[in-house]
Amino acid sequence: MTESSAIPIRPGVADERVRILVLDHDAETREALAEIFPNDRFRVTCAETSAAASDALERFPVALLLVDFAQADLEADRFLREISRLSPDTVVVALTGRGSVKEAVEYMRDGAYDVVTKPFGTDDMARVVEKAMKHQAVCRHNEELKRKLATSEKLAVIGRLASGVAHELNSPLDGVLRFVNLSIDKLPEGDSVREYLVEAKTGLVRMADIVRSLLRFSRNLVVENEPKALHPMLVDAAAQVRHANASSKIVVDISVPDETLAVPAGLIQVFTNLIKNALDAIGDRPDGRLRIEAEGIDDVVEIRFVDNGCGIPEKDRRKIFEPFFTTKDVGKGTGLGLAICARIVEKFNGAIDLSSEVDRGTTFFVRVPRKR
Ligand SMILES: Nc1ncnc2c1ncn2[C@@H]1O[C@H](COP(=O)(O)OP(=O)(O)OP(=O)(O)O)[C@@H](O)[C@H]1O
Ligand SMILES: [Mg+2]
């Protein structure tokens, strides 16, 4: 697989160029297409086989796929189904050398958005790409609206559940935990009953965490709005997560060059969850590193959490903000973390976004109005 040279848009910020994937067996067409698109707006990756193209679609978001099915090693209908499974957002434009109407209709019936006949000029291609990008923007907007509606319905149900069950569970759970702690303190180290109680405590702490998450989720999500200096907040959040993962060797770098940056205090919950998620995604990968950077851009503070962990596959990207979506083992994650983060950030009139590539890592962006 080959790629046009990467131009960093802004240091430390993910590449925001439109990503195009070309699948064509013919080297000349691949080269011609890689040259047509200006490097500052487009990032073109070329694949020779459908396996290489599928791999790319799984690993990073592809806005547009240009494919010559006659030159590809897979039947068009099967490959189009595979694309919509791996990367439903990708717009497919078929390239055809024959110019047959029947073939074009078949491609479009199977899911291609448009068909371009070879040989094509630079202007033809530019027109098709612009049209395809507009089409994609409309589809994305519709998907976003559908997703928001589905999430808000789920939130309403969870809100009711949280304020009912979780409130009822919270106090007895607190009491049990307190008595278990007292009993542990009374028993000598090495006592088998003490060990049983320590095990029981682990489960209770987990239950208390879940109840707390559900309570945070309830409709009256309380978030502290007073301004707090950003740098010490990030240091605190990293320390809290570190405390719970004492054995982790992952390096966490925090860089906030502007000491005057301040944000709402309630964002600490967002920071701890993003840091915890990043450490989980890095796991015990060698050279694991999380870089946290922040800068003030006019009246907005942008905080970036850049990890070199496992990345998020395309098929999961739209689901990760949904309540209860988790890929972690039972007992390791409730799937409420990012849903809570999104709600908190929204309460502060901010936005949360991400860019990710499988096996390379993920960057989460949090943007909130600057506090003075
Ligand atoms: N930095 C990241 N790298 C890779 N995957 C991530 C990252 N952050 C989140 N994810 C994915 O998003 C999913 C949802 O994250 P979220 O924080 O909502 O829930 P969780 O971490 O699984 O559970 P909880 O936060 O409730 O303990 C995770 O299970 C993981 O698959
Ligand atoms: Mg989480």
CATH number of the domain at 19, please: 3.40.50.2300
For ligand 1, is residue 369 a contact (CB within 6 Å)?
A: no
157 is a domain residue: yes
- The residues whose Cβ lies within 5 A of ligand 2, an ion, are 273, 277, 337
Which is nearest to 215 in space by CA: 276, 264, 173, 243?
A: 173
129 is a domain residue: no
pLDDT of 352 = 95
> Does residue 238 sit in the same domain as residue 345?
yes
Per-residue pLDDT for 251 more than 80?
A: yes
> Does residue 257 sit in the same domain as residue 282?
yes
> Does residue 212 sit in the same domain as residue 303?
no
Cα separation, 242 vs 225, in Å, equals 25
For the CA of 335, the closest atom of ligand 1 is 19
Q: Which residues span the domain enclosing 243? A: 227-369
> Does residue 187 sit in the same domain as residue 239?
no
Helix (H, G, I), strand (E, B) or coil at 229: strand
> Does residue 237 sit in the same domain as residue 359?
yes
Tens of pLDDT, residues 182-222: 999 999 999 999 999 999 999 899 888 888 877 776 655 66
pTM of the model: 0.67
Distances (CA, A) of 135 to 128, 138, 141, 167, 336: 11, 5, 10, 46, 32
pLDDT of 14 = 54
> Does residue 166 sit in the same domain as residue 300?
no
Report which of residues 220 and 68 the model is more confident about.
68
137 is a domain residue: no
CATH code for the domain of 166: 1.10.287
99 is a domain residue: yes
190 is a domain residue: yes
For ligand 1, is residue 310 a contact (CB within 6 Å)?
A: yes
Distances (CA, A) of 120 to 7, 27, 33, 95, 128: 27, 16, 10, 9, 11
